[in-house]
Amino acid sequence: MTKAFAEDGIEIGKLTDGVHTLNWHLDASFFKAFEGSLIEDGNFEATLRLERMEGVFRANLGVKGAVVTPCDNCLEEIAVPLKSELDFVIKLTGVPQEDDSDNEVFYILDSDPRFFVSQHIYDLVYLGLPIRKTCEDPGNTPKCNLEVLKRLNTEEQINDAEEGNDPRWDKLKDLFN
The reported pLDDT for the residue numbered 4 is 44
pTM beyond 0.75: no
Whether 76 contacts 70, CB under 8 Å = yes
Report pLDDT digits (tens) over 18-75: 999 999 999 999 988 888 888 889 999 999 999 998 878 999 999 999 998 888 877 7
For the chain, report the end-to-end CA distance as a whole number of angstroms: 64
Break the chain into its structural domains and give their ranges: 3-136, 145-177
Whether 99 has a pLDDT exceeding 90, the answer reads: no
Between β-strands 41-53 and 18-26, what pairing exists: parallel, antiparallel or unpaired? antiparallel
The pLDDT assigned to 74 comes to 75
> Of all residues in the chain, what percent carry a pLDDT higher than 90?
28
Q: What is the pLDDT of residue 177?
A: 63
Helix intervals (H) in the chain:
28-32, 118-128, 146-164, 167-176
pLDDT at 1 > cutoff 50: no
Calculate the CA 16 to chain-centre distance. 31
Answer yes or no: is pLDDT of 102 > 70: no
With CA atoms as reference, report the closest residue to 42 among 53, 32, 50, 51: 32
Rg from Cα positions in the chain: 24
